[in-house]
């Protein structure tokens, strides 16, 4: 029987894993083989089978005559307290009472089908069937209901099946047990559930957890495996030395258990289930199964999207700021160049002319004096030489501020002239070369390279101590490159002084405005190499 197998499974889950406990399982099946003579012979066979075994405990599902193994402590389960022949338990025994919860099942059905007016109770003709029917008859309907209760207890299984299909959909059907139908046929109650469910037009409720999954909606059901575990726990206490008669009997508990598929089949809402109900066989949607994961992923995506939007906004702001910075830098450099040109014009057109006129006047005064005033003439000649020297310096400064050769003759001519003048003035051999340079170079590119060369030569003169240098312009299909190398003392490009210098910063900024780049290689005592490049597009 399924209930007995469930009890046996519960017992073995508690006691079966103990090495010091040896379990024996026997099935008397007194229900289907009820002949008194056969049962007497079977009991005699069992007594003979275990005559040489020291049995310490018996756990029985249903009634067991005390004459089988007299004096052995016994735990009864699978029976109600009213099912004993006497009013009390036998000596040296205790029990886990079976307590079908008809009331709880009817209350659950009332919650799920509040508009129901008819209740059909299915029961059989066996002693156990009649016992459950009597318990149902003693159970009052839930308050607030106005049910018409009908008992189908004298019918054959075939008649019950034919009638179930004609019931109104709002009918409540409670299946108690049918071990023997009205036609005298015997059955395993659990085996009838699928057939009843297949033809029934109304939901079927039950009292056994073994019916769940076979076609009933559910109810406040007995779990026979849990009852077996309760009996095994009591049995373990007895094996440890407690007297069975000192352990009070306990009642097995029922729990609300339902089949999700049957709820869906009859359109019964899960929200109407009693609190604490367990729903089995649910087929969840991906949202129900992975809701937390989906919400987490969506939240992560939204957070990531917000972060990406933030980064894009910041990138746009940064790009706009960089564009504004480039524009401002370009305007500052252009303003600087314009101011240099203005100062250069002032020096050339005004100060140089005035110094030249002063020198002429000093010469005239010196020539107009008598030869006797040699001291005065010498002083005037000295003043004339200083004036000429000052005029030359002003002219050079004007040229440094704004090279007229760059404007009129182009980059290569102005660069070669700058190298020659610097080398001659400071006694440095500067080798100048160029290869495959384009015929036309934009003024912006020419001015950029000229200022870089000018700054680099000033650094060679002031800091490197080199006696020779190499300057080379190279043109390719994609860019113009300027390479400046000296054999001086070199320096550490990562030092604070190098990074904070305005000369290198000015070079980088000029090249950045034209989309160019600069590479600097230098080590102490190993000289310096500067390579500046500007795309041909400019």
For domain 409-538, the CATH architecture is 2-Layer Sandwich (3.30)
pLDDT at 432: 92
CATH of domain 102-221+253-283: 3.40.50.2300
- Cα–Cα distance for residue pair 421/433, rounded to 1 Å: 16
pLDDT at 67: 61
Q: Picking from 291-295, 374-378, 463-467, which range would have the lowest pLDDT averaged per residue? A: 374-378
Write the CA distances from 36 to 109, 328, 354, integer angstroms. Answer: 41, 114, 150
Phi, psi of 121 (to 5 degrees): -110, 120
Asked if residue 476 has pLDDT above 80, the reply is yes
If DSSP codes are grouped into helix, strand and coil, which group holds residue 220? Answer: strand
Residue 462 CB neighbours (<10 A) = 10
What's the DSSP call for residue 103?
A: H
pLDDT at 455: 86
pLDDT band at 352 (very low <50, low <70, confident <90, very high): low
pLDDT band at 398 (very low <50, low <70, confident <90, very high): low
- Across the range 439-458, mean pLDDT stands at 86
Greater confidence (268 vs 492) lies with: 268
| pTM (two decimals) | 0.55
- Which structure tokens are listed for 101? 């919860």
pLDDT at 382: 81
Q: Closest Cα partner for 176 from 279, 277, 100?
A: 100
Q: Which residues contact 446 (CB under 8 A, 6 or more apart)?
A: 406, 410, 411, 414
Q: State the alpha helices, DSSP H only, in 200-250.
A: 224-239
Terminus-to-terminus CA distance in the chain, angstroms?
A: 96
Q: If residue 276 lies in a helix (H) or strand (E), which one and from where to where?
A: none
pLDDT at 161: 95
- Cα–Cα distance for residue pair 41/29, rounded to 1 Å: 13
- Across the range 180-194, mean pLDDT stands at 93
Question: Phi-psi category of 377—alpha, beta or left, where left has phi over 0 and alpha has psi -120 to 50?
Answer: alpha
Q: Which residues contact 110 (CB under 8 A, 6 or more apart)?
A: 116, 141, 142, 144, 145, 172
Distance of CA 149 to the CA centre of its chain: 56
pLDDT at 10: 86
Phi, psi of 402 (to 5 degrees): -155, 110
Greater confidence (380 vs 194) lies with: 194
Domain range summary for the chain, segments of one domain joined by +? 2-97, 102-221+253-283, 291-402, 409-538
pLDDT band at 473 (very low <50, low <70, confident <90, very high): very high
Percent of the chain scored above 70 by pLDDT?
Answer: 86
- Across the range 245-259, mean pLDDT stands at 91
pLDDT at 321: 84
Q: Picking from 116-120, 175-179, 275-279, 418-422, which range would have the lowest pLDDT averaged per residue? A: 418-422
- Which structure tokens are listed for 262? 């049957």
For residue 329, with 0-12 CB atoms within 10 Å meaning exposed, 13-18 middle and 19 or more buried, which class applies?
middle
Greater confidence (402 vs 462) lies with: 462
Asked if residue 406 has pLDDT above 90, the reply is no
Greater confidence (52 vs 399) lies with: 52
Residue 407 CB neighbours (<10 A) = 13
Asked if residue 361 has pLDDT above 80, the reply is no
- The beta-strand segments (E) located in 159-253 are 172-177, 204-206, 218-222, 250-251
Asked if residue 480 has pLDDT above 80, the reply is yes
- Which structure tokens are listed for 350? 């005004």
- Give the chain's mean pLDDT: 85
- Which structure tokens are listed for 387? 């004036």
Asked if residue 348 has pLDDT above 60, the reply is no
Greater confidence (128 vs 363) lies with: 128
Q: Which residues contact 130 (CB under 8 A, 6 or more apart)?
A: 123, 153
Asked if residue 266 has pLDDT above 90, the reply is yes
- Across the range 1-22, mean pLDDT stands at 81
Asked if residue 165 has pLDDT above 70, the reply is yes
- Cα–Cα distance for residue pair 74/238, rounded to 1 Å: 9
Q: If residue 74 lies in a helix (H) or strand (E), which one and from where to where?
A: strand 74-77
Asked if residue 328 has pLDDT above 90, the reply is no
> Quick check: 471 and 435 in contact, CB under 8 A?
no
Greater confidence (26 vs 532) lies with: 532
- Across the range 360-381, mean pLDDT stands at 73
- Which structure tokens are listed for 485? 């190398």
- Residue written as tokens 């299915």? 122
Q: Closest Cα partner for 36 from 5, 65, 59, 3?
A: 65
pLDDT at 500: 55
Parallel, antiparallel, or unpaired for β 468-475 and 479-486? antiparallel
Long-range contacts of 308-311 (CB under 8 A, 24+ apart): none
Residue-wise DSSP of 369-411: S-TT-HHHHHHHHHHHHHHHHHHHHHHHHHHHHS-HHHHHH-H
pLDDT at 330: 66
Greater confidence (212 vs 351) lies with: 212
> Quick check: 209 and 98 in contact, CB under 8 A?
no
Greater confidence (36 vs 486) lies with: 486
Asked if residue 345 has pLDDT above 70, the reply is no
Q: In the sheet that 58-61 helps form, which strands lie side by side, from edge to edge?
A: 58-61, 74-77, 93-97, 250-251
Percent of the chain scored above 90 by pLDDT?
Answer: 36
pLDDT band at 402 (very low <50, low <70, confident <90, very high): low
> What count of residues does the chain have?
538
pLDDT at 149: 95
Q: If residue 298 lies in a helix (H) or strand (E), which one and from where to where?
A: helix 291-345
């Amino acid at each position: 029987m399924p209930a007995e197998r469930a009890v046996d499974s519960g017992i073995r889950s508690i006691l079966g894993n103990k090495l010091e406990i040896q379990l024996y399982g026997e099935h008397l099946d007194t229900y289907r083989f009820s002949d008194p003579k056969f049962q007497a012979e079977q009991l005699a066979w069992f007594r003979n089978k275990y005559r040489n075994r020291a049995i310490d405990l018996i756990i029985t599902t249903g009634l067991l005559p005390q004459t089988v193994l007299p004096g052995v402590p016994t735990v009864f389960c699978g029976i109600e307290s009213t099912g004993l022949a006497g009013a009390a338990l036998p000596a040296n025994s205790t029990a886990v009472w079976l307590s079908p919860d008809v009331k709880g099942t009817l209350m659950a059905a009332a919650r799920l089908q509040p508009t129901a007016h008819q209740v059909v109770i299915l029961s059989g003709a066996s002693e156990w069937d009649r016992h459950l029917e009597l318990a149902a008859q003693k159970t009052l309907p839930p308050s607030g209901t106005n049910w018409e209760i009908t008992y189908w207890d004298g019918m054959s299984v075939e008649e019950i099946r034919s009638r179930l299909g004609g019931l109104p959909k709002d009918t409540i059907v409670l299946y108690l047990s049918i071990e023997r139908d009205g036609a005298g046929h015997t059955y395993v109650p659990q085996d009838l559930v699928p057939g009843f469910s297949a033809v029934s037009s109304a939901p079927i409720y039950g009292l056994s957890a073994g019916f769940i999954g076979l076609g009933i909606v559910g109810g406040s059901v007995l779990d026979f495996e849990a009852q077996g575990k309760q009996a095994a726990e009591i049995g373990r206490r007895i094996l440890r030395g407690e007297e069975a008669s000192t352990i009070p009997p306990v009642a097995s508990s029922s729990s609300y258990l339902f089949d999700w598929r049957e709820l869906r089949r009859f359109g019964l809402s899960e929200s109407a289930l009693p609190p604490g109900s367990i729903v089995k066989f649910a087929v969840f949607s991906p949202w129900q199964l992975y809701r937390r994961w989906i919400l987490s992923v969506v939240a992560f995506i939204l957070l990531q999207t917000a972060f990406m939007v933030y980064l894009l906004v910041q990138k746009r702001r940064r790009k706009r700021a960089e564009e504004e910075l480039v524009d401002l830098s370009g305007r500052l450099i252009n303003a600087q160049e314009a101011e240099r040109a203005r100062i250069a014009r002032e020096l050339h057109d005004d100060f140089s002319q005035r110094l030249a006129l002063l020198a002429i006047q000093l010469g005239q005064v010196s020539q107009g004096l008598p030869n006797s005033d040699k001291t005065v003439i010498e002083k005037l000649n000295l003043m004339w030489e200083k004036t000429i020297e000052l005029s030359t310096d002003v002219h050079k400064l004007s040229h440094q501020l704004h090279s007229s050769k760059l404007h009129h003759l182009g980059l290569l001519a102005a660069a070669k002239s700058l190298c020659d003048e610097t080398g001659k003035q400071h006694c440095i051999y500067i080798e100048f070369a160029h290869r495959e340079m384009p015929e036309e170079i934009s003024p912006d590119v020419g001015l950029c390279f000229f200022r870089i060369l000018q700054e680099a030569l000033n650094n060679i003169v002031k800091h490197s101590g080199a006696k020779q240098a190499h300057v080379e312009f190279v043109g390719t299909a994609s860019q113009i490159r300027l390479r400046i190398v000296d054999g001086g003392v070199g320096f550490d490009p990562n030092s604070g002084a190098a990074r904070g210098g305005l000369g290198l910063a000015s070079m980088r900024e000029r090249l950045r405005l034209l989309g160019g780049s600069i590479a600097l290689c230098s080590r102490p005592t190993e000289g310096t190499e500067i390579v500046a490049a500007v795309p041909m597009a400019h």
